[in-house]
Structure 1
Amino acid sequence: MDSKRLEITETALKLFAQYGIKSVSMDDIARELGMSKKTLYQFISDKNDLVEATINLACSQDCEAMAIFKRKDINAIEQFFEMKTLVEQFIGQYKPTMMYDLKKYYPALLSDFKNKQKDVHIEAYTSNLTQGQKEGFYHDDIDISVIARMLFAHGAYTFDDTNGLFTASELNNMNLYSEVFKYHFRGVCTEKGMEEVERLFCEDDEGNK
């Protein structure tokens, strides 16, 4: 992607995430970038083009984040804590308005994004579960194919801020993420795995003091 188009797309994604798609105009985006709307249209055809570009960027960012679960320089449980650290950097930045707007005005784009997200997440979780079994952290008798899909479904519903399961305040609190992690670990971890979980939570607590 052209560097200027990428800059525009990144700015638009930030504004859409904070204020929703419909309430952010092309004038707003041009103003945020400090450029004229005429210059903006040299890189973007129209708002529909920009919305599609932001969804593709979000998909790319999601792929990069989930690559944490394929890292071999850290163990399978450390991968979850790396993801937790990443989530902490962005928690509270995204509002449900963008998702509402996507569902209402861009359903095809949203459906495509969710399908890609499902494939990426299940593949990443499969890698994590396979590695964890080899390291002796996860039980040998778990069905990796089933658990990977359950992890995706659990995350997709639990952290969907449009379904009303948790309040915005709860979704913006890292305690919820910690509880979800604990719930998962208690289901798949061996005694050795739980010892590693406790070690990492202790380190996490010490680091937050």
Structure 2
Amino acid sequence: MQEKILHKAVELFLNFGFKSVTMDDIATEMGISKKTIYTHFSTKTKLVEAAALYIFETISTGIGCISAKKLNVIEETFEIKNFAMKHLNNERSSPQYQLNKYYPKIAAVLKNKQFEVMQECVVDNLNRGIETEVYRENIPVSFISRIYFVGITGIKDNDLFPTEEFPILELMENYLEYHLRAIVTEKGLKTLNKFINKTPEDK
């Protein structure tokens, strides 16, 4: 039952937001009593924490599987983006922003975990890009891997990038192009242009 509650909570949180969904909402959706939920998760904060970590682990595992394929580094970057967006329901409810605003302690723990995973993934991507001459050989890998993390988390700030003005899918596409154009070689640019020129349905 605990796992079922967690899965339903994840679904609702991603659809409507960590703040908006109540324990009553989850109980109603599952056809169980709120007391049953509290038997497994003593507070909503505990449930939010479990849900956030579950989402993180799911995405981290997927990123690891994609990285293991050793795709062309530009293709890998877009595939990871597509995977993450799919599992975050295209971030319709701005989960990261809501965590930061309403559950800052959970968000801080999660940020550290995200940084560790992304550092490993992005540094590997950058080094392979240099080796395959897709990225410029003189790029500062440690700096770029960190500035990439700052950017990818920063664009999820709804105060800076309100979704009505910056739709999340378009925002992500623009950020990836911005990031990659700064580091690709002429060879890499040809590959990047193939992805940029695809229709939304093909991406």
Question: What TM-score bracket applies, with the shorter chain setting the length?
Answer: 0.7 to 0.9
How big is each residue's C-alpha offset from its partner over 1:168-198, in whole Å with a ceiling of 9 and x where there is no partner? 1244353322221221121110110001111
Residues 1:114 and 2:111 aligned together: yes
Scaled by the length of structure 1, what TM-score is found? 0.81
C-alpha distance after superposition, 1:11-60 (max 9, x if no partner):
21232344444443322111112223343344333323212211211221
Deviations 1:126-161 (A, max 9, x none): 111111112110011111111100100111112222
Instruction: Answer yes or no: is the 8 Å Cα contact 1:133–1:139 preserved in 2.
Output: yes
Given the alignment, which residue of 101, 105, 127 partners 1:103? Answer: 101
User: Structure 1 stretch 75-84 or stretch 135-144: which is displaced more?
Assistant: 75-84
**Partner amino acid, structure 2, of 1:94:** S
Relative to the length of structure 2, the TM-score reads 0.83
Q: How does 1:111-190 map to 2 (within 5 A)?
A: 111-161=108-158, 164-190=159-185
- Distance in structure 2 (CA, Å) of the matches to 1:38 and 1:206: 45
Q: Say which SS state the counterpart of residue 139 (structure 1) adopts.
A: coil
Aligned-residue offset at 1:81: 1.9
Is the 1:139–1:188 contact (alpha carbons within 8 Å) kept by the matching residues of 2? Answer: yes
5 Å-filtered alignment, 1:5-154, equals: 5-67=2-64, 70-87=67-84, 89=86, 90-95=89-94, 99-100=97-98, 103-104=101-102, 106-154=103-151
1:91 is paired with a residue whose SS is helix
Unaligned runs of 5+ in 2: none
Matched, 1:200 2:195: yes
Distance 2:137 2:80 in 1: 24
Distance 2:171 2:43 in 1: 39
C-alpha RMSD of matched pairs (Å): 2.6
- Report if the CA contact (8 A) 2:99-2:107 is conserved: no
Secondary structure of residue in 1 paired with 2:164: helix
Contact 1:69 1:127 in 2 (8 A): no
Q: For structure 1, list consecutive stretches of 5 or more residues without a partner in the other structure.
A: none
Shift of 1:208: 4.2
Query: Residues of 2 paired with 1:23 and 1:120: CA distance?
Result: 29
Q: Residue 156 and residue 35 in structure 1: after superposition, are their counterparts in 2 closer, same or farther (change >3 A)?
A: same
CA contact (8 A) 2:6 2:47 kept: yes
Cα deviation 1:93-118 (Å, max 9, x = unaligned): 2236x7446534x3322211111111
**For the Cα contact (< 8 Å) 2:74–2:191, is it kept in 1?**
yes
Residues 65 and 150 of structure 1: CA distance in aligned 2, closer, same or farther (over 3 Å):
farther
